[in-house]
């Protein structure tokens, strides 16, 4: 049973990561910065519960704020460029954040041991759930409360006028600005919302794995973040969820019995999925 | 209302618009005609703020628009349509108009409190009115990409109107239309004038230009070669040579 709880947690956390890219993709921007916001949320929440002794919920709120604030700050300069230039700019930012955590030491003594991030060693012993006696099932439910809240919030946003504006910008920036849409405000705000969602996801991830290090937040994770909404389609938030289930439950766990062949098949099946459903599983505009 | 003073826009060595002076007064319909590549669309793009001027000035209601981005010009009251239709194809007809409600008073009434005080119903009523005006009420839930060509043109005009413009820049609104549709378009343009909207009309279809405009300016190689009432323009030898030909 624990295996399935663990899988459900992974699916939930990756759904948050994918949703953070979903809202940015709606505006037609391809960003590889989501792993960095996820990392910032992970370190922030971990430090707040472990070093400052916060309860997990406010710590996750702080993760969201840190993720959002960083995304907003990065959004202003980064979103001045488009297309491949934006991919490169956000990639550089993501690597910068990863290298920051590679060099980030902030340890304090807690009893006999020292805890906190220790550069390349990573940040161990983020044991809030264990220390408070949460069962795996409870942790899984806790994660999914946030997933459901994030999905509901983005669903509502998507259906609001703001969502229509995001999609309008994604379709035709020139027409959108000609009907009075402030492109900078729309893109930066979408990036900010995405940063908040990624921050929460990262905070949950840190507590679920109990050990985070810079290498968790590499380009591969950033690629997964945008792959989920693209594979799932931008019709609505459920596309992202479907893609996460497809990748995490089927491609990664379901095909584990294939051993090394799985990695080969992994890429091939994603290519096949995109060829069969170029608009994503649920359809919607091409990303 | 709109004043272009020595307006120039060069692209490298190409002088797309070169020293254009033009005034459009409140309530007028002014036509801008000329051969392909004579700088008409560039003029519209410069007025709308998509390109900066190379030299010269665009003034609107006696204020310079220098450095003002496109969305802010729209809020001042300058809306436009495109020569090649640019709708939001994957949004519904209704949503295309919803997204375009960006007049300052619309922003004000979309605040949280205003919304509860009935701002939303005002929004819906206005969209319904625009749909009625453009004959698209029965298509409101259709994706814009699925509309027929003439319907797309009508929707684009309605979308420009959704921001309650004072000045409307129409870039070849009749391109590709048959003469029945052109007749309907003329009626719509005259209705808009009756509502007090000033219009700068770029058009190749002389049937429309000669029928609705108060005044026409003729461009050739980025320069104004003539300006006057439709009948004067039709009789002008220079214009006939450059553009109208034997027509």
Tens-place pLDDT, residues A37-76: 999 999 999 999 999 999 999 999 999 999 999 999 999 8
| H or E element at residue B217 | strand B215-220
Asked if pLDDT for residue A261 goes beyond 90, the answer is no
pLDDT at B103: 87
The H or E element containing residue B17 is: strand B14-24
Strand partners, B167: B78, B198
Q: Which of B44, B71, B111, B126 should one mutate to test binding to chain A, selecting the residue with the greatest count of A CBs within 10 A? A: B71
Give residue-wise pLDDT tens across range B173-208.
998 888 899 999 999 999 999 999 999 999 988 889
Please report, for the domain that includes residue B13, its CATH number.
3.40.50.300
pLDDT tens digit sequence for A189-237: 999 999 999 999 999 999 999 999 999 999 999 999 999 999 899 989 9
Give A70 to chain B, closest Cα distance, Å: 26
For B:6-65, CB contacts with A below 8 A are 48, 50
- pLDDT tens digits for A126-182? 989 999 999 999 999 999 999 999 999 999 999 988 999 999 999 999 999 999 999
Q: How far apart are CA A179 and CA A175, in angstroms?
A: 6
CB A283 within 8 A of CB A37: no
pTM: 0.90
pLDDT tens digits, chain B, 247 residues: what are they? 999 999 999 998 889 999 999 999 999 999 999 888 889 999 999 999 999 999 999 999 999 999 899 999 999 999 999 999 999 999 999 999 999 998 888 877 776 666 556 556 778 889 999 999 999 999 999 999 999 999 999 999 999 999 999 999 999 999 888 889 999 999 999 999 999 999 999 998 888 999 899 999 999 998 999 899 998 888 888 888 887 765 4
Rounded mean pLDDT of chain B? Answer: 90
- Cβ atoms of B103 and B163 within 8 Å: the answer is yes
| Strand B198-202 versus strand B29-33 pairing type | parallel
- Write out residues 135-194 of B within 8 Å (CB-CB) of A: 159-160, 162-163
> What is the extent of the structural domain holding B27?
2-244
List of chain B residues whose C-beta atoms are within 8 Å of the C-beta of residue A172: 86-88
* Chain A residues whose C-beta sits inside 8 Å of any chain B C-beta: 161, 164-165, 167-168, 171-172, 174-183, 284-285
- Cα–chain center distance at B62: 20
Instruction: Please give the tally of structural domains in chain B.
Output: 1
Please, is A31 exposed, middle or buried when counting C-beta atoms within 10 Å of its C-beta (0-12, 13-18, 19+)?
buried
Question: Helix or strand or coil: residue B202?
Answer: strand
Decide if A175 and B103 are in contact by the 8 Å CB cutoff.
no
Which letter, b or e, does each residue of A91-106 get, where b requires 16 or more Cβ atoms within 10 Å of its Cβ?
bebbbebbeebbebee
If you measure CA to CA, which chain B residue comes closest to A181? Answer: B71
Question: Given A167, A179, A284, which is nearest B100 (Cβ)?
Answer: A179
Radius of gyration of chain B (CA): 18
pLDDT in tens, B132-144: 999 999 999 999 9
Asked if A175 and B87 touch (Cβ cutoff 8 Å), the reply is yes
Q: How far is Cα A69 from Cα A205, in angstroms, rounded to an integer?
A: 19
Contact residues on chain B for A178, CB-CB shorter than 8 A: 48, 50, 70, 74, 79-80, 82, 86
Place A286 in a pLDDT band, splitting at 50, 70 and 90.
very low
Interface pTM (ipTM) of the complex? Answer: 0.91
DSSP type of residue A256: G
Instruction: Give the pLDDT mean for A262-268.
Output: 80
Q: Could you give the angle at the alpha carbon of A170 between the alpha carbons of A177 and B140, nearest 5°?
A: 80
For residue B103, the chain A residue with the least C-alpha distance is A180
Query: Could you tell me whether strands A108-110 and A117-118 are parallel, antiparallel, or unpaired per DSSP bridges?
Result: unpaired
């Amino acid at each position: 049973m624990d295996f399935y709880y663990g899988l459900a947690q992974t699916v939930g956390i990756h759904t948050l990561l994918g949703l953070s890219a979903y809202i940015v993709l709606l505006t037609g921007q391809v960003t590889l910065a989501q792993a960095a916001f996820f990392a910032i949320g992970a370190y922030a929440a971990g430090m707040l519960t472990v070093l400052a002794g916060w309860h997990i919920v406010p710590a996750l709120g702080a993760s969201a704020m840190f993720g959002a604030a960083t995304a907003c700050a990065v959004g202003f300069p980064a979103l001045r460029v488009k297309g491949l230039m934006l991919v490169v700019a956000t990639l550089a930012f993501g690597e910068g954040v990863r290298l920051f955590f590679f060099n980030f030491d902030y340890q304090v003594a807690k009893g006999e041991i020292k805890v906190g991030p220790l550069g390349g060693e990573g940040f161990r012993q983020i044991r809030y759930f264990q220390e408070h006696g949460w069962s795996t099932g409870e942790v899984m439910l806790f994660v999914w409360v946030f997933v459901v809240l994030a999905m509901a919030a983005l669903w509502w946003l998507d259906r609001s006028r703001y969502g229509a504006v995001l999609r309008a910008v994604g379709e035709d920036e020139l027409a959108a600005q000609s009907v009075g849409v402030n492109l900078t405000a729309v893109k930066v705000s979408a990036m900010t919302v995405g940063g908040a969602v990624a921050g929460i996801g990262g905070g949950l991830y840190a507590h679920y794995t109990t050990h985070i290090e810079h290498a968790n937040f590499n380009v591969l994770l950033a690629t997964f973040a945008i792959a989920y909404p693209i594979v799932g389609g931008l019709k609505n938030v459920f596309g992202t969820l479907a893609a996460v289930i497809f990748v995490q439950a089927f491609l990664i766990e379901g095909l584990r019995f294939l051993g090394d062949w799985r990695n080969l098949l992994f890429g091939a099946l994603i290519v096949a999925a995109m060829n069969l459903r170029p608009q994503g599983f649920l359809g919607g505009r091409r990303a | 209302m709109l004043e272009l003073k020595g307006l120039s826009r060069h692209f490298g060595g190409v002088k797309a618009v070169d020293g254009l002076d033009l005034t459009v007064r409140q309530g007028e319909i002014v036509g801008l005609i000329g051969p392909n590549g004579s700088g008409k669309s560039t003029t519209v793009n410069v007025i709308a703020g998509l390109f900066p001027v190379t030299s010269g000035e665009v003034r609107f209601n006696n204020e310079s628009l220098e450095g003002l981005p496109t969305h802010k010009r729209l809020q001042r009251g300058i809306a436009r349509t495109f020569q090649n239709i640019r709708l939001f194809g994957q949004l519904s007809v209704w949503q295309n108009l919803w997204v375009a409600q960006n007049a300052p008073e619309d922003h004000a009434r979309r605040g949280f409190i205003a919304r509860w005080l009935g701002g939303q119903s005002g929004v819906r009523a206005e969209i319904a009115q625009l749909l009625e005006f453009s004959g698209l009420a029965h298509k409101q839930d259709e994706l814009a990409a699925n509309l027929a060509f003439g319907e797309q043109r009508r929707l684009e005009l309605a979308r420009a109107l959704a921001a309650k413009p004072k000045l409307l820049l129409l870039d070849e609104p009749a391109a590709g239309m048959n003469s029945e549709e052109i007749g309907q378009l003329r009626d719509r343009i005259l209705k808009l004038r009756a509502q007090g909207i000033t219009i700068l009309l770029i058009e190749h279809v002389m049937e429309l230009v000669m029928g609705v405009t108060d005044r026409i300016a003729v461009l050739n190689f980025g320069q104004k070669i003539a300006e006057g009432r439709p009948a004067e323009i039709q009789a002008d030898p220079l214009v006939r040579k450059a553009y109208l030909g034997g027509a």
